[in-house]
């Protein structure tokens, strides 16, 4: 047994900030060390090594030349950004884990995009809006609390693992909310509506939890 490696993993897991990054590192370790990955898997989840493609309905064909992102509702300054304008906003890279309510978890994903918080600050200057509803190209919706969306690792992402985000994974732009089940991470987003009212999204109307916390096994309504 390699004590220093075990201690290294324990240390990685101990400092929550790199819990996501450690997924990628652990993938490259021998099987004995991989047992430690169980610390990164919420209850009832198993690890996959390729990101599945999962969505209701068919995959749309968004066109970047006509694409726009609309930010509206309880905002001070509505936004309507075309693709070039969106891409001029400063980005961050964030490594995080992804947990689908059907049971798979893909650890250590490297996303690049704009922090949700930064977009919000461009449009909203007062605290009236407590929720944001995301509307996708194909009619899919989900809603999250602004408090949950304000975390560092919540991105409007357009790159994954050093490539432009593929259409099947939500390109040109998707939401990534690592601390919620995957159905909150809407693919193909086109609209963000700020509101003070709770609205259930597509999966949430179909029996899935609106709070959707993987660490609480919070799957169903």
Ligand X SMILES: Nc1nc2c(c(=O)[nH]1)N[C@H]1C(S)=C(S)[C@@H](COP(=O)(O)O)O[C@H]1N2
The residue written with tokens 């390109």 in the block is 171
Give phi and psi for 148, each to the nearest 5.
-75, -25
Question: Would you count residue 186 as binding Mo ion (CB under 5 A)?
Answer: no
Report the first-to-last Cα separation within the chain, whole angstroms.
44
* C-beta closer to Mo ion: residue 56 or 152: 56
153 vs 213: CA distance, rounded Å: 15
The closest of 136, 135, 143, 131 to 195, measured between CA atoms, is 131
- Helix then strand then coil, in percent of the chain rounded to 5, is 30, 30, 45
User: Of 100, 107, 177, 212, which lies in the binding site for Mo ion, with binding defined by CB under 5 A?
Assistant: 100
Q: What is the 3-state secondary structure (H, E, C) of 84-116?
A: HHHHCCCCEEEEEEEECCCCEEEEEEEEEEEEH
User: Of 113, 170, 182, 201, which lies in the binding site for Mo ion, with binding defined by CB under 5 A?
Assistant: 182
Question: Would you count residue 201 as binding Mo ion (CB under 5 A)?
Answer: no
* C-beta closer to ligand X: residue 99 or 115: 99
Binding mask 37-76 for ligand X (x = CB under 6 A): --------------xxxxxx--------------------
Size, binding site for ligand X by CB under 6 A: 18
Question: Would you count residue 170 as binding ligand X (CB under 6 A)?
Answer: yes
Find the shortest distance in angstroms from Cβ 31 to ligand X: 25
Footprint of ligand X (CB under 6 A): 51-56, 100, 136, 138, 140, 169-170, 182-183, 185-188
């Amino acid at each position: 047994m390699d004590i220093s490696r075990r201690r290294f993993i324990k240390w990685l897991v101990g400092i929550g900030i790199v819990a996501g990054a450690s997924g990628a590192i652990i993938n490259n370790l021998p099987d004995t060390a991989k047992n430690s990955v169980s610390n990164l898997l919420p209850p009832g989840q198993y690890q996959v090594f390729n990101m599945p493609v999962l969505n209701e309905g068919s995959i749309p064909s968004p066109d970047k030349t006509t694409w726009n992102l609309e930010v509206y509702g309880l905002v001070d300054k509505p936004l309507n950004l075309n693709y070039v304008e969106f891409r001029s906003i400063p980005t961050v890279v964030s490594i995080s884990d992804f947990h689908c309510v059907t049971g798979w978890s893909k650890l250590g994903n490297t996303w690049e995009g704009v922090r949700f918080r930064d977009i919000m600050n461009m449009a909203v200057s007062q605290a009236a809006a407590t929720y944001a509803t995301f509307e996708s190209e194909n009619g899919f919706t989900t809603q999250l609390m602004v408090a949950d969306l304000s975390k560092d690792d919540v991105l409007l992402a357009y790159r994954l693992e050093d490539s432009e985000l593929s259409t099947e994974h939500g390109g040109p732009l998707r939401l990534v909310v690592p601390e919620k089940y995957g159905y909150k991470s809407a693919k193909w987003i086109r609209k963000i509506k700020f509101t003070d009212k709770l609205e259930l999204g597509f999966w949430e109307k179909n029996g899935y939890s609106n709070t959707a916390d993987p660490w609480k096994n919070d799957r169903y309504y």
